[in-house]
Structure 1
Amino acid sequence: MKEKEFLAELAEITLLNQTLALLDWDSQTGMPEEAATERGEASGYLSGLAFEKQTGPKLKEALDYFSAHNDELSEVGKTIFTVTKKDYDQLHAIPKELMVERSRLYSEAHTAWVKARQSKNFADFKPALEENIRITKELIPYYKKDEATDYDVLLNLFEPGMTSAVLDEVFSELRDGLVKIRQLIAQKGITPDTSFKNRTMTTAQQKDFVKNLVAQLGFDFNRGRLDDTVHPFATRLAHNDVRITTRWNEQDFTMGIFGVIHEAGHGIYEQNMAGKYNMTPVYDAPSMGIHESQSLFYEIILGSKRSFWQKQYPIFQAAAEGTFDDIDFEAFYRSLKATAASLIRIEADSLTYPLHIIIRYELEKALFNGDLTVAELPKAWNDKYEEYLGIRPDNDLVGVLQDVHWSGGMFGYFPSYALGYMYAAQLLHAMEKELAIDNLLIKGDYAPIKNWLTEHIHQFGRSKTPNELIKAATGETLNPQYLLNYLSELYQNVYQIKA
């Protein structure tokens, strides 16, 4: 067995996964609704082929050989071997039929979710969600090692090494800190004027502004594209094909513009992994929390900075063709960071956003640890929103049906958003020791920021664990205090609270 043969087998698996990613992208951006069943069959068939190769005799032969002859591998080959073996050990015991069924159910569930959103009725999605949970529960025993709970197994798939015990502690600290900031604002804050934010800015105007902006930030449109969808996402089809999506609202420019910045953060990450790992399992993020740290770094950490908008606001005004010419910079900036309880996660402000994640985490944990049924989910969702944010959804569209994740079986993913937010603030703290961030943002010189992230995060792919990456980049493991400090300073400034 030669290293070249090993890499060729991995490349074939990657090609199948690229095809699956293309089918999934199409299903969320342009596929006719009536094609869902046939698409599910196609995705299921290709998933079966990919799974056969990921767990098949040829790959097993390579892994067995290089387990005994590791010295015959190059340094890059050794890294690829380690990650590939970890994936193989996780998957090889799972029956192919189960993986094919999972792929089919996820495809059908996405169509059911879209239909339920149109009817605003959870009942139209409930059977598909129950099936997704059933198939996930059937898979848990194959993934389980020494995790304390079934939900910990799911967490470990998206954030290796993370447990609900750790999250309970971190989220408790985060939640308490956010509540204190919100209380301070309520007691002493001067509320920004947001009356002009619903002025019409056409989709074309928004798109013109934000495409130029994310290109400046570092997203390469020669290797990527932007499309419309129901729920924004980013996906890598290949090393030179990274696709981002968004949705637009002409009476709320923040939805589309910040949505594109968020997805472009994912895209910049995907476009800047080291090419030596291409066509192998290492060419990916080590966890979804690390991936989300990159999208949230651009969208919320940089996108919340006064210095960022000092440069971009005149460009934004020009793109809006006079609509905001009577609004001075200070009023505009403060309006962007106004905080208020909201029902929709992806429209939440920077301060309340983590509370949306904590709600989903607690509901998922209850679903998989046997404390909540699917039938009880809509009421439990609404109760949590009333408890944590003081508002209650009046229909399922703005409640339990708002996120795409459960239709794709992504149980255990939501905590990654909050982890990513905390990682992003911690990365900023470390970056500011080396770079004059505000000076760079005022000048619109974004290359040093992207280069720092590539040097410390992007290039490594899965060659390092999340903990290794964060500790190497920042000098310590996850610390939620950096996010709380960032938000406290930001909102005291925006709400003109004097120390």
Structure 2
Amino acid sequence: MEEKIEKFKKMIKEKKMIDSMLALLQWDLETQAPKGGYKLISEMIGELSLKSYNLTTSEEFSELLCELKEKEEKIDGILRKEIEILEEEMEKIKVIPSDEYRAYSELTAKAQGIWEVAREKNDFNSFAPILEEIFNYNKKFIEYRGSNSDVYSIILNDYEKGMNIEKLDKFFEKLKSEIVPLLKEVTEKEKKSKENLNFKVDEYNQKMLSEELLKYIGFDLNRGILSESAHPFTLTVNKDDVRLTTRYFENIPFSSVFSTIHEGGHGIYEQGIGDELKETMLADGTSMGIHESQSRFYENIIGRSKEFWFGFLEKSKFKYKELEEISLEKLYRDINEVSPSLIRVEADELTYSLHIMVRYEIEKGIFSGEYSVMDLPKIWNEKMEKYLGIRPDNDSEGVLQDVHWSCGLIGYFPSYALGNVYSVQILNAMKKEMNIQGVLERGELNKIKEWLNEKIHKYGKLKTPKEIMVEITGEEMNPDYYIKYLQEKYRSIYK
């Protein structure tokens, strides 16, 4: 038995090595590779993806999993969970022909470069053909699995176990019924202006502040780095090599502030995974919804609080001189201004989930056949006007703004809204164990990180989202807490 376990661990190590190399190629592709190098990198990603596929779907690996499962009473809980997750992964990919698996891996790598150029040139038509291919591949891969369920529901379940169209329709309907009237209520009040936050800061100083913020919230820059990309993201090689990106706009310095804190939340999660999981397939976030709960927790609940900025401005070694000229009350109001915006990553807390609803309804419509890819700019603009009352002037600030679809992350967007809801439930549980306001005012962010490490991060994939939420909060996901949080916060600001 020990011999089989060692063989299993050896094969997992090989798979993780391949996956780490893929991560490094992906990082290079999105941060610094010249456009002329995209083709070769895409081919390299395809080749390595095929190696990972071949290992995972091999008869030898399958037989080894079966043998270990038959003796599962003799193996520990970590190994049992690892086998369970690997079996699920195998079931998903073994039905996909190897040539198509490789082709799709190359396609999504290539698509990111095409998307970036299309966004720069405001040219959706140049991106549409490859985007349609990506959607078609996703549909075909699900059909290979032979399920009678709705294609999009299966994709949603892959990102968040137990999730489907029926549940998300009810979830978004509840959010819409509460958020849209609240949005109307607060925007009819006195307008707040955040012009004071749109002062000019050069890229170097924005970088300096971003690194200071990451250290302040608890991201370990000895085990991670911060770079730049067209769209901020977090990529993990392993828990000791976690890579974040942000982006800098000279006249909107707080854009990088919040994207940096957001990605920092993702990074803290990855760095906090238990050491005993490091060499296993469990060394990752349990779901994208829980992962987004951590980034949204840091970005919004912490980063947009008055207490956080009081502590940071008192303790930080580096800060913009302009911040010292703004009262704390004014700063708090400005960073929480409610103003429907075109760009999701710049959205305030109140309107953010409406941006996600637009994307969710579009994805659902494409898989149902209601929408075609070529019609997406028109559909996007109509939905933005319907939910947020604003209409993009061009596709770069509309349908082309997000990188996700080019990466093949179809079905990912609802995770952001789920993460918002999870984050507030987690906040309520944390309040019962510590004075969060006092902790933030004193700059003791380590206490918050340690609490999250202990309750969530260290478990990686060892526990399901449902198990984590029930253990922390005593119940499954409940959007009522999030709605109440938004109502209390914004009615307080917009009196």
Q: CA deviation at 1:144?
A: 5.3
Deviations along 1:428-462, one digit per CA (max 9) or x if unpaired, are 01110111100100000011211111111111111
Structure 1 residues 315 and 201 mapped into 2: Cα distance closer, same or farther (>3 Å)? farther
**Could you say which residue in structure 1 is the equivalent of 2:156?**
155
Residue 439 to residue 315, structure 1, CA distance change in 2 (3 Å): closer
Which residue in the other structure is 1:465 paired with? 464
Once the two structures are TM-superposed, the CA of residue 91 in structure 1 deviates from its matched residue by 2.1
Provide the C-alpha distance between the structure 1 equivalents of 2:317 and 2:326, rounded to a whole number of angstroms: 9
How far did residue 75 of structure 1 move?
Answer: 3.0
Select which of 17, 20, 23 maps to 1:21: 23
Matched residue type, 2:59: P
Equivalents in 2 of 1:89, 1:313: separation in Å?
Answer: 51
Offset at residue 315 of structure 1 (A): 5.8
Preserved CA contact (<8 Å) 1:262 1:299: yes
What is aligned with 1:356?
A: 355
Aligned counterparts of 1:47 and 1:389: Cα–Cα separation in 2: 40
> Does 2:214 align with 1:214?
yes
Distance 2:14 2:299 in 1: 35
Taking the aligned partners of 2:141 and 2:413, their CA distance within structure 1 comes to 19
Matched residue, 1:239: 239
Deviation at 1:490, TM superposition (A): 1.4
Partner of 1:81: 83
Residues 372-391 of structure 1: pairs in structure 2 closer than 5 A: 372-391=371-390
Q: 1:251 to 1:316 in 2, by over 3 A?
A: farther
The CA distance in 2 between the partners of 1:26 and 1:360, in whole Å, is 27
Determine the structure 2 residue equivalent to 1:409.
Answer: 408
Superposed counterparts of 1:193-232, under 5 Å: 193-232=193-232
- 2:170 maps to a residue whose letter is E
Q: 1:95: Cα distance to partner? A: 1.5
Distance 1:359 1:460 in 2: 33
Q: Does 1:165 align with 2:166?
A: yes
Equivalent of 2:53, from 51, 54, 57? 51
Tell me what 1:292 maps to: 292
1:307 counterpart letter in structure 2: E
Q: Which SS does the other structure have where 1:412 is aligned?
A: coil
Q: Which amino acid letter does the alignment assign opposite residue 327 of structure 1?
A: I
Cα distance in structure 2, aligned partners of 1:142 and 1:482: 39
Partner of 1:182: 183
Q: What amino acid is aligned across from residue 104 of structure 1 in structure 2?
A: E
The structural deviation recorded for 1:286 is: 1.9
Map of 1:346 onto structure 2: 345
TM-superposed deviation, 1:330: 1.2
**Cα distance in structure 2, aligned partners of 1:460 and 1:198:** 40
Residue equivalent to 2:70:
68
Separation in 2, partners of 1:393, 1:381:
9
Name the CA distance, whole Å, in 2 between partners of 1:283 and 1:146.
Answer: 32
Gap change, CA 1:317 and 1:395, over 3 Å in 2: farther
Instruction: For residues 106-160 of structure 1, give each alpha carbon's deviation from its aligned partner in whole angstroms, at most 9, with x where no partner exists.
Output: 011111101101110101101110111121121112345453x111011011111
Unaligned runs of 5+ in 2: none
Does the residue aligned with 2:339 lie in a helix, a strand or coil?
A: coil
Cα separation, 2, equivalents of 1:365 and 1:391: 22
Q: TM-score, normalised by structure 2?
A: 0.97
CA distance in 1, matches of 2:42, 2:78: 36
In the TM superposition, what is the alpha-carbon distance from 1:287 to its structure 2 partner?
1.2
CA distance in 2, matches of 1:317, 1:281: 39
For residue 493 of structure 1, report the CA deviation from its aligned partner: 2.1
TM value normalised by structure 1? 0.96
Q: Which amino acid aligns with 2:212?
A: N
Distance 1:317 1:197, change over 3 A: farther
Secondary structure class of the residue paired with 2:95: coil
Distance 1:317 1:222, change over 3 A: closer
Q: How does 1:236-315 map to 2 (within 5 A)?
A: 236-314=236-314
- Residue 316 of structure 1: how far off its partner (Å): 7.2
Q: Structure 2: how far apart are the matches of 1:289 and 1:318?
A: 33
Match of 1:192 in 2: 192
Distance in 2 of aligned mates of 1:378 and 1:303? 33
**Structure 1 range deviating more: 132-141 or 292-301:** 132-141
- Secondary structure of the 2:322 match is coil
- Give RMSD over aligned pairs: 1.5
What percent identity do the matched residue pairs reach? Answer: 38
| Larger helix proportion of the pair | 2
- Partner residue of 1:142? 144
Unaligned runs of 5+ in 1: none
Q: CA deviation at 1:35?
A: 1.2
Structure 1 residues 143 and 252 mapped into 2: Cα distance closer, same or farther (>3 Å)?
farther
Moved more, 285-294 or 80-89: 80-89
